Structure 1
Amino acid sequence: MTVPGDPSAPAALRPGTPPVPTLAGNAALGVTQIILWGGTFFLIAVVAGPIVASTGWPQGIVVGALSLAIFVSGLPAPLVGRLIRRHGGRPVLVAGSLLVAAGLALMAAATSLPIFLLAWAVAGIGMSASLFDPLFAAIGQAYGTAARGAMTQIAIASGFAVSLCWPATSFLVERIGWRGACLTYAVLAAVVVAPLYAWAVPRAARAGVPEAATGADPAAGPPAPARLPGEHLLAATFTTAAMIMTAVSVQLPLLLQALGILGGTAVALTTLIGPSQVGVRVIELAFGRRAHPVWSLLMSSASVGLGLLLLATLPAAAWLAMILYGAGNGMRTVVRGTLPYALYGQRDYAAAMGRLARLPLLGQAVTPLACGYLAEWFGPVTLLHLMLAVALVNLGLSLLVVRHALRPAAGTA
């Protein structure tokens, strides 16, 4: 039997000796994100048409099921963060992936619209405990200062999710139908993702929580997580960025068509986003470790804003707009994990990630519906201008976050 502090104990149980991330483990966690995002966020874009054709269900409700899942995923996010802080990430992430599998299996078997929506709600609960936010919370708590590189490596691997999952899902739908495609993702979530989480996520229950002070009650658990004065500002920044990403993901084909960019040209332009996301993450991994993540936040916001500005004012430079947008959005994924760690530290990181995840998820949930109505009422070009306005607001919020985050350092100089 080993106890914390015993030299024979695993590294995860020895105070001051956090587990060390490995390339194989990070690659495995990247695979989990490819499968989970392919079976949730990126699924409906491919299967909605076949579902409507085979069932006769209203297309708006079928497509809106994803918004339901995102909304549901935002509700338990703070609780998920607290569970990771108290019990470690492994059991939470494994349970989340199994819930996603259950939702997808129920989706494949759904014979009525209410059951179909219930399936997405179940998947949404699983999403709250298995996608980027809880994964980053888990590895941030476990790996400490080494977590930034691990997060970036995971983001690099998962950056191919769209490029891989949309063609793969289309192939599955053609071969075995939309129900078979949903069931395939359910099996992958259960027999690939859950075991990979069990293997690659450290077992440490509270790796980042320091030992209790002398005389403290060990049964009292970790102290309450901190809430920094600028937390609502950071949440608003993450929320506006997430809403822009969701709006572009849903409306980009329509926007390009409204700008006169059609057919193969439009498809070629959209393929620039994925490599740009991966490329900027590689640059972050190679050169960004010594810089405060708040500068990456500012660069992300500026790049997305400049990309949308180019698209709105100079459609001939749409290729550059896609590269800039992709780079900014790719950096956003990394910053979402690294910046809260820099601000909160290891002990409070998991709980903070849970709190910071709720508002962006709720914003993402309403964005597709809002964009659909705005495009119908005012036209795609006006929608693009509104997205640009939100991007400018996001840039302003990022500047305030920079000022707030660096103020203590300036005061101690």
Structure 2
Amino acid sequence: MSERPPIATILALGLTQIIGYGTLYYSFSILAPDMAKDLHWSSEWIFAALSVALLLGGLSAPWLGRAMDHFGAGWVMTAGSAIAATALVACAYAPGKTGFVAALIVIEVAANLVQYGAAFALLVQASPHTAQRSITYLTLIAGFASTIFWPITTLLHAHLSWQNVYLVFAGLNLLVCLPVHAWLAFGLARNTTRKQDSAKEVVEGCLGPDIRPLGFLLMVVGFSLQSLVSAAILVHMVPLLSGLGLGATAAIVGTVFGPSQVLSRFTNMVLGGNLPPLALATIASALIPGGVLILIVTAPSVVGAMAFALVFGLGSGLFSIVTGTLPLMLFGSDGYGRLQGKVMAARLIVSATAPFALAFAIVHIGTFVSLTITAVLGAFAVVAFLSIAHLQRRAPSLVQKASL
């Protein structure tokens, strides 16, 4: 009889993921114009500061991953909530540009402590054999973070300064997320103690030791290329559409993109139980550049833009799932936190530099050529995941069901 996913843990993490992504990520674009005004910066410099913060946050991810394995993901997330609240307060009270950037860097480090990478590690540590299903359920709930926090941030900012909005968000991290994460950490510690007298619960990876280094490299390349395309396109969505003669459709694209992410996660939860993570990763890696290709071929068609948003959103929704489930399938649950830290570092570094690279390319070689290069780079992710499948077939591996 198969184990049941820890529903209470998933629901608790779903709440903290919505708050974590909403307060530390999605709110920034809405508050950025007033941040720039108060700091006497252009909007470009504010987003450049965010890119630096994301880059430095990415560099800290491997160390954070090791901390998850050593101390437990629950305690790391508890500390992350406290650090996030403190950093939001520091950002609100920053006396100048230097203090603001320093606080923003700490916010991005804290984000790595409380968002998907840490939450996935907690689910693996709580119940390795149900973790793949648990991650799917969690991403379905957390997929509503932008839908919830974009209007909440806008509403708050209509009555409060950006500094006071950040103080409200600090309160959410301190008074809601921190107690929830502490509760999860205590529960995980009790479960670990209870299992000490029995055999250690471990999920074995399906790649043999001799091919794991190459498999890991291919996986990181695939994930990084997907992150490159996603980050570049999403940050520049409006100017890209304008450059293709579709500026007026930006709002329509936004209404299609968000629900399509949730749709892909829900469809996978209901119908994709028999699809292994490697197959899902390959599908996602085809959908993301496929959506960009649709935009290139159909612009300036409004129908084409909507098709782009749908396909791109479906791929993006699946991508967030496989970043948690594929490492577990390929390499197992032992040392999962350290593995996630390395993967997060590569993805975040690429995500931080991709928007600038695409902006530079658009200015110097044009929108169509830039998008074509982006789509081709994204397509190489398909090659990376197919190569992992080829490795599985060629080399001896541990026998394990791909869908738990």
Please state which band the TM-score falls in when normalised by the shorter chain: 0.7 to 0.9
Out of 57, 64, 80, which is 1:96 matched to? 80
Where do residues 29-40 of structure 1 align in structure 2 (5 Å cutoff)? Answer: 29-40=13-24
1:115-174: CA deviation from partner (whole Å, max 9, x where unpaired): 000101111221221111121112112211111111111101111122222222122222
Q: What residue identity is the alignment partner of 2:264?
A: V
Q: Give the secondary-structure state (helix, strand or coil) at the position aligned to 1:84.
A: helix
2:115 equivalent in structure 1: 131
Query: Matches of 2:393 and 2:262 in 1, distance apart?
Result: 28
Cα contact 1:374–1:383 (8 A) shared by 2: yes
**Once the 2 structures are TM-superposed, how far is the Cα of residue 188 of structure 1 from its aligned partner?**
0.9
- Cα 1:69–1:19 shift into 2, 3 Å: farther
**Once the 2 structures are TM-superposed, how far is the Cα of residue 235 of structure 1 from its aligned partner?**
0.8
**Once the 2 structures are TM-superposed, how far is the Cα of residue 387 of structure 1 from its aligned partner?**
1.6
Query: Matches of 1:164 and 1:28 in 2, distance apart?
Result: 17
Q: Which runs of 4+ in 1 moved over 6 A?
A: 210-214, 409-413
Cα contact 1:74–1:358 (8 A) shared by 2: yes
Out of 242, 252, 272, which is 2:256 matched to? 272
Out of 218, 235, 243, which is 1:233 matched to? 218
Cα contact 1:307–1:321 (8 A) shared by 2: yes
1:251 equivalent in structure 2: 236
- Number of residues of Structure 1 aligned to a counterpart in Structure 2: 384
Greater CA deviation, 399-408 or 269-278? Answer: 399-408
2:364 equivalent in structure 1: 377
- Cα 1:60–1:262 shift into 2, 3 Å: closer
**Once the 2 structures are TM-superposed, how far is the Cα of residue 406 of structure 1 from its aligned partner?**
4.6
Cα contact 1:139–1:147 (8 A) shared by 2: yes
1:53 equivalent in structure 2: 37
Query: Matches of 2:314 and 2:268 in 1, distance apart?
Result: 11
Query: Matches of 1:205 and 1:346 in 2, distance apart?
Result: 19
**Once the 2 structures are TM-superposed, how far is the Cα of residue 360 of structure 1 from its aligned partner?**
0.9
Cα contact 1:142–1:204 (8 A) shared by 2: no
Q: Give the secondary-structure state (helix, strand or coil) at the position aligned to 2:332.
A: helix
**Once the 2 structures are TM-superposed, how far is the Cα of residue 279 of structure 1 from its aligned partner?**
1.0
Query: Matches of 2:84 and 2:7 in 1, distance apart?
Result: 26
Query: Matches of 1:148 and 1:406 in 2, distance apart?
Result: 22
1:85 equivalent in structure 2: 69
1:204 equivalent in structure 2: 189
Out of 12, 26, 51, which is 1:67 matched to? 51
Q: What residue identity is the alignment partner of 2:251?
A: V
TM-score, normalised via structure 1 length: 0.86
Query: Matches of 1:409 and 1:170 in 2, distance apart?
Result: 54
Q: Give the secondary-structure state (helix, strand or coil) at the position aligned to 2:214.
A: coil
1:89-135: CA deviation from partner (whole Å, max 9, x where unpaired): 11101111221111111111112000000101111221221111121
Cα contact 2:55–2:348 (8 A) shared by 1: yes
Between the aligned residues of both structures, percent identity stands at: 27
Cα contact 1:233–1:401 (8 A) shared by 2: yes
1:305-334: CA deviation from partner (whole Å, max 9, x where unpaired): 211111111133221111111010100000
2:274 equivalent in structure 1: 290
Q: Give the secondary-structure state (helix, strand or coil) at the position aligned to 2:160.
A: helix
Cα contact 1:104–1:183 (8 A) shared by 2: yes
Query: Matches of 1:120 and 1:407 in 2, distance apart?
Result: 46
- Cα 1:60–1:72 shift into 2, 3 Å: same
2:60 equivalent in structure 1: 76
Q: Give the secondary-structure state (helix, strand or coil) at the position aligned to 1:136.
A: helix
Q: Give the secondary-structure state (helix, strand or coil) at the position aligned to 1:40.
A: helix
Matched, 1:331 2:315: no
**Once the 2 structures are TM-superposed, how far is the Cα of residue 411 of structure 1 from its aligned partner?**
9.8
Query: Matches of 2:165 and 2:367 in 1, distance apart?
Result: 32
Q: Give the secondary-structure state (helix, strand or coil) at the position aligned to 2:25.
A: coil
**Once the 2 structures are TM-superposed, how far is the Cα of residue 404 of structure 1 from its aligned partner?**
2.5
- Cα 1:318–1:155 shift into 2, 3 Å: same
Q: What residue identity is the alignment partner of 1:53?
A: K
Structure 2: which 5+ residue stretches go unaligned?
A: 200-208
Q: What residue identity is the alignment partner of 2:241?
A: L
Out of 282, 287, 305, which is 1:318 matched to? 305
Q: Give the secondary-structure state (helix, strand or coil) at the position aligned to 2:346.
A: helix
2:245 equivalent in structure 1: 260
**Once the 2 structures are TM-superposed, how far is the Cα of residue 20 of structure 1 from its aligned partner?**
5.9
Greater CA deviation, 287-296 or 372-381? Answer: 372-381
Matched, 1:342 2:326: no
1:155 equivalent in structure 2: 139
Query: Matches of 1:406 and 1:175 in 2, distance apart?
Result: 59
Structure 1: which 5+ residue stretches go unaligned?
A: 1-17, 215-225
Query: Matches of 1:28 and 1:56 in 2, distance apart?
Result: 40
Q: Give the secondary-structure state (helix, strand or coil) at the position aligned to 2:88.
A: helix
1:165 equivalent in structure 2: 149
2:283 equivalent in structure 1: 299
1:6 equivalent in structure 2: none
Greater CA deviation, 196-205 or 315-324? Answer: 196-205
